[in-house]
């Protein structure tokens, strides 16, 4: 059962507008019922409401309570698992994905503009290299973008240029991409929820769905009410364990973030004068950026399943000082964690468990962009256009035996495996 308030994150403390939609009561009817009010659910609902569907969203806790309201806020291009999709379809991944890779970015920008969403949206992103093979990957990525006439500034940076941009010697080079960017994810999610309501959607909070009754019309049931709908979209991602068929299809991996005290201008102009988001390519990665009020938001993966802010603070301070030793004693005001869905194939999981019950989950930590694309694809699927949906749905999820029952040891093993792989 999800708690009824947001986690103790920097985002929850600074969201300004937080939602307080009434719980689901009594029997309701809709064209589409969406379960979960993170980016996937809200984005789907907004796409559908804009097309004139009567959409009801049922959320166990609050809009943006899950990964969507807690993440690094980094808007990253591309879709995890692209190679596996290409392998499955036997076509050139570039042809298949040229529009899809950046579609989420366009949807985010367009919504921010159209609905006036104040979410600290900024351009700029830096992939940083720890190993020579990372530099080779960046060079290939760069070449592909140049060939595709990518309309934003992109540049391969030397070690010295990287140091000039982010004030650390920790990396051997980088790839700057001003087409990517960052935002305050909870403000964005709440802004999109308000937009969906303005287009006629209904949102219920504090309403955990306890079961789905399948049939010609599906009935989504909570303790005090139900929504009967022509279609259901399950968008509970790593926080969902309602449907048996979806158990064990992805690893629930934890990621954590700390927010320092606000930094003086002299420091921010040294460590991040262009205000870009930064991320390394490891699975057990480090990622960081400045917030609008100039805190360092520093994130990473650790093998931990709890929520103890003191423990998270201690572990991430250690990681942060490998990049910025000068922050060894800096005050850390917020520390929190969240859960990400990682499929074995890394391919986002779009599919259906019944003819009229769709699901959409598992973005492997790259969900800010891809959830927005996924929302559009789910709305298309409900409307009967399945071309893009099938690109993903045809790659069947790999079920990990025991992943559902033995989550913690399985995830610990998985993280250990990737830690070793990162070092190679
Ligand atoms: C710490 C952290 C950092 C991250 N950093 C980045 C980043 O920088 N860039 C990036 O692209 N991605 C990042 N991600 C990943 C990204 O946040 C996710 O991929 C994305 O938010 C997933 O959105 P979602 O809507 O599918 O799931 P969620 O946001 O998790 O939403 C699922 C919702 O479903 C609800 N729900 C579940 N079960 C039920 C039920 N039975 N009844 C009703 N409601 C239910 C939950 O309460 C929840 O609100 C990060 C994730 C974490 C945790």
Asked if residues 19 and 217 have their Cβ atoms less than 8 Å apart, the reply is: no
Percentage of residues of the chain with pLDDT beyond 90: 78
pLDDT of residue 413: 61
Ligand 1 center to residue 64 CA distance, Å? 8
pLDDT above 70 (res 405): no
| Per-residue pLDDT band at 374 (split at 50, 70, 90) | very high
Backbone angles phi, psi at 156, to 5 degrees: -85, 130
Least confident of 52-61, 166-175, 206-215, 412-421: 412-421
* pTM over cut 0.75: yes
Residue 254 CB–ligand 1 contact under 6 Å: no
pLDDT tens digits for range 86-136: 888 876 666 767 889 999 999 999 999 999 999 999 999 999 999 999 999
SS3 76: coil
Nearest CA to ligand 1 atom 41: 209
d(CA 8, CA 299): 15
pLDDT tens digits for range 318-339: 999 999 999 999 999 999 999 9
d(CA 320, CA 390): 41
**For the CA of 68, the nearest atom of ligand 1:** 21
d(CA 373, CA 378): 9
pLDDT of residue 422: 62
pLDDT tens digits for range 212-227: 999 999 999 999 999 9
Tokens describing residue 330: 């800096």
**For the CA of 364, the nearest atom of ligand 1:** 19
Ligand 1 center to residue 51 CA distance, Å? 25
d(CA 165, CA 275): 9
Residue 287, CB-side half-sphere exposure with 13 Å CA sphere: 28
pLDDT tens digits for range 259-271: 999 999 999 999 9
Strand blocks (E) in 48-88: 55-58, 74-75
Q: Tell me, what DSSP letter sits at residue 17?
A: -
The rounded mean pLDDT for the chain is 93
Residue 366 CB–ligand 1 contact under 6 Å: yes
Asked if residues 40 and 341 have their Cβ atoms less than 8 Å apart, the reply is: no
């Amino acid at each position: 059962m999800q708690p009824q308030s947001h986690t103790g994150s920097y985002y929850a403390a600074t969201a300004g507008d937080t939602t307080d939609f009434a719980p689901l009561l009594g029997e309701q009817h809709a064209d589409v019922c969406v379960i979960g009010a993170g980016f996937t659910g809200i984005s789907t609902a907004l796409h559908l409401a804009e097309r004139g569907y009567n959409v009801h969203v049922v959320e166990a806790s609050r809009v943006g309570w899950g990964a969507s309201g807690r993440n690094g806020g980094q808007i990253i291009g591309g879709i995890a698992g692209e190679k596996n999709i290409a392998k499955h379809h036997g076509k050139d991944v570039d042809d298949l994905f040229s529009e899809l890779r950046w579609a989420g970015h366009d949807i985010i920008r367009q919504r921010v503009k159209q609905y006036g969403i104040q979410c600290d949206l900024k351009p700029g992103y830096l992939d940083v290299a720890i190993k020579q093979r990372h530099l080779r990957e960046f060079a290939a990525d760069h070449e592909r973008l140049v060939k595709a006439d990518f309309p934003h500034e992109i540049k391969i940076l030397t070690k010295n240029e990287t140091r000039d941009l982010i004030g650390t010697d920790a990396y051997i080079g980088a790839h700057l991409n001003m087409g990517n960017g960052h935002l305050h994810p909870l403000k964005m999610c709440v802004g999109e929820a308000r937009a969906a309501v303005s287009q006629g959607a209904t949102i219920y909070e504090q309403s955990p769905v306890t079961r789905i009754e399948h049939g010609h019309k599906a009935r989504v049931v909570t303790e005090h009410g139900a929504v009967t709908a022509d279609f259901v979209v399950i968008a509970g991602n790593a926080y969902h364990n309602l449907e048996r068929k979806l158990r064990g299809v992805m690893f629930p991996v934890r990621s954590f973030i700390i927010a320092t005290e606000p930094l003086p201008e002299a420091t921010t102009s040294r460590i991040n004068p262009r205000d870009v988001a930064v991320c390394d390519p490891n699975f057990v990665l480090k990622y960081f950026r400045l917030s609008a009020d100039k805190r360092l938001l520093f994130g990473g993966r650790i093998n931990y399943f709890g929520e103890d802010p003191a423990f998270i603070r201690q572990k991430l301070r250690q990681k942060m000082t490998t990049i910025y030793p000068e922050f060894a004693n800096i005050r850390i005001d917020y520390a929190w964690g969240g859960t990400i869905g990682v499929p074995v194939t890394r391919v986002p999981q779009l599919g259906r468990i019944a003819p009229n019950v769709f699901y959409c989950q598992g973005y492997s930590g790259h969900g800010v962009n891809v959830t927005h694309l996924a929302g559009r694809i789910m709305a298309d699927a409900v409307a009967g256009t399945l071309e893009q949906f099938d690109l993903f749905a045809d790659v069947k999820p790999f079920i990990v035996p025991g992943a559902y029952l033995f989550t913690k040891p399985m995830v610990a093993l998985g993280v250990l495996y990737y830690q070793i792989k990162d070092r190679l």
